[in-house]
């Protein structure tokens, strides 16, 4: 039985054209799990927060280790990206509003404190996390949520990675190391539960 209280939000991580289209960061699995994410968002749009990963304007404007990162990926700074690539994929962008956007320049959405403060003000105690990538931005979102005391629910059919091996290995870590702080679910289970809660 899926355990999820009524004080939840859905954080949908980085479902952007940047990763869906043929860029240096193309993630083929995004489009494969997109129907499942669309189903989740359709059932939870007012409670959905879409994060967007926004690279720096130039390589030189990135600091610390991020500069080395963008020296490796110079085509992915904003100055060099085609218009629209930072946007959500169109089939999800249509849900904003009532869904919300939260932009970030790093893997984690938690570092500034703004997201946590907004959720705390609403009495949120649980977060459902979908999107990608399983072993990078989703991982940062999951670990931050756990550290901040949220119960995390992962619909595994609405998560994607770029490499099957690291995706699968990260799912095993989620399942085996965080049993008391994290629940694995399916999109079908969540949608059914949300329908029951709304009735």
**What are the residue boundaries of the structural domains of the chain, listed by start?**
8-55+83-198
SS (H, E, C) 93-140: HCCCCCCEEEEECCCCCCCCCHHHHHHHHCCCCEEEEEEECCCCHHHH
The count of C-alpha atoms lying within 13 angstroms of the C-alpha of 111, restricted to the half-sphere facing its C-beta, is 8
Q: Is residue 13 left, alpha or beta, with left meaning phi > 0 and alpha meaning psi from -120 to 50?
A: beta
Q: Is the pTM of this model over 0.85?
A: yes
Handedness of CA 52, 34, 153, 126 (dihedral sign): positive
**pLDDT of 196:** 87
N-to-C CA span, the chain: 18
pLDDT in the model for residue 83? 85
Which residues neighbour 66 within 8 Å (Cβ) at sequence distance 6 or greater?
Answer: 56, 106
CA 7-10-15 angle, 5° bins: 170
Q: What confidence score (pLDDT) does residue 189 get?
A: 93
192 within 8 A of 186, measured Cβ to Cβ: no
pLDDT along the chain (199 residues), means of 10: 85 97 94 97 97 97 96 96 95 98 97 97 97 95 97 96 88 89 94 87
Q: b/e per residue, 38-64, with b = 16+ CB within 10 A?
A: bbbbebbbebbbbbbbebbeebeebee
Q: Which CATH architecture has domain 8-55+83-198?
A: 3-Layer(aba) Sandwich (3.40)
pLDDT score for 1 = 59
């Amino acid at each position: 039985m899926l355990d999820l209280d009524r004080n939840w939000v859905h954080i949908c991580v980085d479902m952007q054209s940047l990763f869906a289209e043929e860029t240096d960061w193309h993630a083929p699995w995004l489009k494969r799990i997109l129907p499942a994410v669309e189903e989740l968002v359709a059932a939870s749009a007012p409670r959905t927060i879409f994060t967007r990963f926004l690279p720096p304007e130039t390589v030189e404007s990135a600091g610390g280790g991020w500069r080395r990162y963008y020296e490796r990926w110079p085509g992915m700074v904003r100055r060099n990206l085609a218009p629209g690539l930072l946007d959500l994929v169109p089939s999800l962008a249509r849900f904003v509003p009532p869904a919300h956007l939260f932009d970030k320049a790093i893997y984690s959405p938690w570092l500034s404190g703004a997201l946590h403060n907004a959720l705390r003000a609403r009495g949120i105690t649980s977060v459902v996390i979908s999107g990608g990538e399983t072993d990078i931005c989703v991982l940062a979102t999951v670990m931050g949520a756990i550290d901040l005391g949220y119960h995390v629910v992962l619909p595994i059919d609405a998560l994607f990675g770029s490499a099957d091996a690291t995706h699968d290995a990260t799912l095993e870590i989620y399942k085996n190391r965080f049993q008391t702080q994290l629940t694995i679910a399916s999109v079908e289970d969540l949608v059914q539960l949300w329908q029951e809660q709304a009735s």
